[in-house]
Structures are given as structure tokens and as C-alpha cells.
Structure 1
Amino acid sequence: MPSDKPCEAPFEDGLGEALRRTGETFAPPDRAALVDAGLTLGRRRVARRRAAVVTGSTLALAAVGIGGAYGGGLLGGGQGGGRGGETSLAAPDPTRTGATRTAPAPGTDAALIAILTGLLPGGELKNPTTNSSDGGPGFRSVRGVFDDGKGDAEISVGLTRAAGTEAEQQVTCPDKVITGHDDCAENELADGSRLMVFQGYVYPDRREDTKNWRAVLLTSDGFLVDASEYNAPAEKGAAISRTDPPLNPARLKALVTSDEWRAPLNELPTRPPGAGDSGSSAGTDDHTRDTLVSLLPAGLEVTGEGGQEGFVYLVVDDGKGPSYVQINVQPGMAGVAKELFTGATTLPDGTLLKTAKSAGEKGVGGIRMWTADTLRPDGLRVVVSAFNAADQITPATRENPALTMKQLTAIATSQKWLTRP
């Protein structure tokens, strides 16, 4: 389901090249997390559409924003130092490859590569590349395969001007129920900047064990620095080459908070007014949550909850074990009618209804997923699913979901969804 992140987290199928790929791990099926986490409006709309347009009537889940821990230094602070007592990585060792070369001209791709190379510990950055096209205005990224003698690992850094609420999501740790991970921390620096450091996986359901560690800095003057690393030479399609990515959380923090990024950040073009600050036209989380709770059948106790931007999940219990319930409310989805609602039942008011009973989305054995998916004539899509487990990534807790298909259909077709803030 929704919306990266934050947290591509997801946060699989959002800042430049780096966020595009990490955001994929936050979204639904084979995007694993949450959603391109790209911060431009165009890329965000693509992510939302991908989150919604899943095969059949399977409920799409996208987690926005991957989390992390915060460190200072990007905004100044002198040599090797940062704001609020934070420190940057040491200057490059002159014995390292390329360290004695003439410094490239500021603002060039070579300068961006030199910054990343100089901030990495002893080793070689192989096949470095840069990109400024995928992220739209106000975006640049640099990536390469880092070889420290312990196994090749892809590392990338994306630079962008922050974009309203979406930027805040990039420094907010994802809900562990939505985006499984090992650790995540977020902090605020003395100067008002924020940082998150995330330790998770390319696929939160762990169908592959490629690790994705990420640090995102949101500066107090409106920039994002996003670094991602893997324990493989590529995010996907490459064999694991080492136990962990090469940079531990402290070094990741030092990487994104380094003063070295200040010059290329200041060179980024100004974003058009309102670009990337898309907000949620589906209403607030509270509205979606309160409406869903009001539609639950009697006898269900809500024992857990979470969500964002029109997506909400509840954990309910009828005395027979916890059951995970998720809902996504998406306006403007008329375009998916032919793709997702072929063979659907047409209700008297013109609403298309499609129901399905299937295995869970995350491949965990024994999990059952029951879904009611609706599309109203005005393009409002309401899709609700219930599971026979407390979440999608742990074993089943009961034989069937706590809600019947009839009850799920009543929730999805309720007229209450037509009244939105």
C-alpha cells in the first residue's frame, strides 16, 4: 500500500537515484518498502501509482520514509567537526588512490565523485557514476562500488533540496510492522537539523538477505543528504559479498553530515514553488483510522495501529488471536479500472467490487489474506484486507482472519468514505 523515506523506506516497488532504489524497498510486493522515496512530485506520483496498481486485487502497501539516526556537521563547524559536537570523517589519506591528483573544478561530476571518494575509509571506489536527471530539479547523486578488501559493496549519496512534508518523512523511522528492519534511530541536532540511520534490508520480508543501511540528513536550511549502502556490489541481482555493509552507523552519520557536501548542495537549482510537497488528498491518517474503527464489527478489540497518508493498519482481536487489518483510501484512481477490476461486480451505485482470498503478500507460509477492493465512479478506491496473523511477516496466529469477506466488503463499500476532509 502507500507511501518511501524517509523511509523505495519504501520506504521496493523515494532523493534522487539513491532514494529511488531504497524507496523501492518500502513499497508493496517486490518493491518491499515503502514507494519511491524520491522527493519530487512527479516521482512521488509514480510511486503512489505503483503502490496502487498491483496485480489482481492484492492490496498494495507502501511505507514512506525510512528512518535513521541524526548527526550534525553539514551546516558548518570547522575542520573535521560539525554542529552540536558531531565530527566528520578525517581528510583523505594522501597514500590513497587519487588523493594526490589536482582537485577537480567545483560543481563538476568529477568533484562530486572526489567528495564521496575522500569521505570513505581506506579502499577504492570503483566505477563511480553521477546522475542529475532522474530526480528532477534540485537533485544530484553519486554512486560506486566500494572495495575495502572485505567484499565489494555499492554505496550511493543523493543530494536534493527538501520538499515540505515529504522531506520530514525521509527522516522518520518506518513502522516496523510495515517495513521490517533490525534497527533505526532518529535524532535532532542542536541546530535544528534532523538525522535518521536505518539498518534494514532491500526486501523487508527477507526473501533475500541483502542488507540496506541508510542515513538521511535533513538540514535546518532545507537540504537532504541521503546515503545508502549494501552488503553486495549492487542493490539487487548480485550475490552477497560480505556480512554487513562497510560503513557502520557512526560512519554513515559522518558521511551525510560532512561539510564537504555543502558546496554541491548550494549549487542545486531552486525547486519550483510547491514541488514535491504533495501532501495527501486522501485525508489525514486520523480520519482514515477513525472511519475504519467506526466500521469494525462488534466484538473486536484494537490492540495495535499505525499508518500514513490514507493508509492505516489495525491489529484486532476477537478473543481468538490477533488479526492484522490494513486499508488504503486513494482518490483519483479511475485509470486502474481496466487493469485491476476486470471481472469485478458492478454495484447499483456504479462501484466496482472485487474480492479475493489468497496467501499473504510477503511469502510467509500459512498466512491468509482476504481482500475487498472497490473503485467508485468518481475514482475513489478503497481496498481493505485482513490477515490471520498479527502482521505480514510473522507466523499465523489463527486459522482465518478476524473479519469475514462480507464484513470486509461492508467496510470497503461504506458511504462514510465519501466524506473526507
Structure 2
Amino acid sequence: MPTAEQDRTSRRLAWCVAHLLRHAPDHVVVDMTRRLDRQTLKYLCRDEWLAASTVTLLLRHGAAADRGYIARNPRVVGRPLPGLPGPARYARRRTPPELLPLLRAELGRDPEAEPLTAAELIALLRRHGRRRPRVPLDILALPHEADPGSLLAEHARLPLPAGSVEALLLAADLPRETACGLLAAAAAPADGRSWHRPAVRAVRMGRLTHEELVAHVAPARRTLLLGHLPARRSLRWTLPEQAGMQTAVMRALRPLGDDPRLWAELLRHAPAHPGPLPALVAGIVDGSLPGPDGAREPDPELARAVRHLAPTAAEPSGDVERELALASLAVPMESVEEDIRWVRDCLDRGLLTGVDVIRHKLPACWALDEDHWLGEVDHPDRHDHPGAVLAAHAEAYRLLTLALGEDPEAWWRTARTLPDFAGTLPHLLLRVTEGGSVSGRP
């Protein structure tokens, strides 16, 4: 039976690990969760800020007890957990009676008399999946023969509509390789209004992590757009999911560095490149890509996404109010509420950005937790300053990756040091790596 002090230590370590794992590559997440003792891992599974990719990896590699703790986590919504929506729930779906006459006319036979063949299933999914997944889900509720190999072959020949792909991810118990293949639509003639829904659904259902999504989504322009998805009224990223996708895309773009020529090449090749983003980046870096066909200009949304993901130099400012605001991040207020009010006011007045908070707020564990400088408001995404949150995530990823790389041991040392470290995040990384400071005050 752990003592109260041991319990407090485990809770605090789990809280810090949960925030670090939002910026870590998948193999580091798996390694770090295996290093945690049983008590700390229990609190990690119950953490309210557990990232979507971390949930997926814990469900994939964790024990039954871990899955049970995650299933009882009220903040984990929409994952394939016990008692939550998943393939089993959709398998119990029944086809509406009013749809059966239409399907009977299209097939020339009773669709319930015998299972749909693979060819019939694919034909119906092509015909009825152009809008939302409701009708494809009704079709998949009928007896059918779903061969993953034929599905992938037909999708590679001519991509299935987005609604049908989303329905397959929801209802069909597909292997991970098939789910990855369905997200590649290199031969698609054009992006429809709902092209992003299967990718969002794949992450939210726990099929794939953000990193796996980046590795398999095609064409590359879709991955770039997913990294900074425009506001939409339909299914879209939540703010934590958008931050996770942004981090995964930035990790794939890291070989470009801060060379403006390579980023210009990215924007030139991205509109027409049929492959996934990592292949595009590798081709740009080694100069092996042929010139793009025609003079196809990137659409405004793609250009905006690339500008958002590209590294930008901080503009020096000698404004006295800004200097005072930066200095105030290192001075604890009398209460957390007063600290939150001050930071929010500085953000609203343009004196601070999310980058400033990550670099200058102490302790580092508070800087990584938006609740400690934005508070929690009545908003669907919990925070009403999405720009500041995304900027903070991008800067935290940049600092952590620059200092720790993909070394699991370095990430583990950082996690062990973070709970009791009183300085800023750059100073923490300086101590852990015993190298030069990664901070450069703007």
C-alpha cells in the first residue's frame, strides 16, 4: 500500500508525463509508458489531458488494467473502449426499411436474401458514400463479404468516397494496414467537402495515431491541410487533436529545417504530389523530385497551412510593456486565478504569445499545462485562445525535439526531472542534456 507521499509523487509524475507525451514520437510514448511503475501508469491512464495518440498506443500495447482505467476516464471520448462507440456498436445497426427497396432495385435482388458479394458491396459504397457515412453504415449493416484485399485494390484503382471510407473505419473490423491504405487517395480527382472526415475519424476511433496518419495519408497536400485544418461546421479536430496533428506534421517537415528554399519547393510540389508527405519531404531534401506538371498554383488554404507550419523568426521588440509582461511570467502571483487573469490579459493585448509562455513561464510543468495560464472556460475545446495554444504546442515541440531528439532515455530523464524543477523549460532541457541552452530570448 503506497504512502500518501508516494501517491502524491506518482500523481505528479503522471501529470508531467502526460504533458510531455503530447510532444513525443510514438516509439518514445511506448517506451516511457513501459518504464512507469504500476501506480504511476494508473494515474497516467486517468489523466484528463491524455492525448489521443497516447490513448491509442496504451490501448494497443497496454494491459487489460490500463484499458479499464482509460475506459473510466471521463475525458476520453469517442475511443473504441468498453462501453463507448466502436465497431461492435455499429455492427448491431439495422438497415432502415425504406432503404431496402432502393437497394433491391439497384442490385436486382433482395439484399437480405444472401450476403452481398465484395463487388456488390464496393459498388453500393461508391454510389452512396459521397456525402456522409449514414447510408454506407446502413449498407454495412446488411450481411456482406468484406475482403480487405479487394477493398484496398478497388480503393487504389479509384478511391472510395469519403463517406464510405469513414463508414468502413467506424463499422468494419479492418486490419491496421487496411485502415492505412484507405486513407491514401492519390488517384482522387479532387478534394470534396468531406475529404478530411476519414482522417479525423481514424484518430478519434483509435485506429491510428497522428504520426501513423502523417505516414499514410495521400496526397501530401491533404496531410499539410490536416496539420492546420480550416474551421468547419462538420466533423473536425478538437483543439487537442489539432495540436497533436500539428506536432506530427512538423515532425515530418523537420528535415526541411529553416531553409526558405526548401519550404518554397514544398509549396511548389505539394499541390500535385500524389504520395504521402514523408516521401515528398525526402524528395525535396535530396533533390530527386521531377518538376511539377504544369504551373498549378497552391490553393489559399494550402498556402496558409504551409505558412503556419513553417518556422518563423521572432521579431525583436523593445516595447517596455512587453518586457514587463515577459518578466512577469517568472514572478508567481498571489493566486492561480490572478496569474491566469494576467496572462489572458497580456494575450488579449498582444503583449505575449503562446511561444513566450513556453519559453519564459516557470515552473516548466505549468508552462506545458494550458490550464495554468489560460484557465478552463465554458468552451467546447476547453480554451478560447486556440492560436495561443497551438503556438505553445509548436514551440514546446521545437524545444523538446531540438534538445532530446528521438532518444527515449533523454525523454525519460526529462520526465523524471520535470515534476520538481522550478525553472523554465529551456533551463530544464539545459540541465537534462548538459549542453548549450536552447533558449534564445526574442
Q: Which structure's CA Rg is the greater one?
A: 2
Structure holding more strand per residue = 1
TM-score, scaled relative to structure 2: 0.26
TM-score, scaled relative to structure 1: 0.27
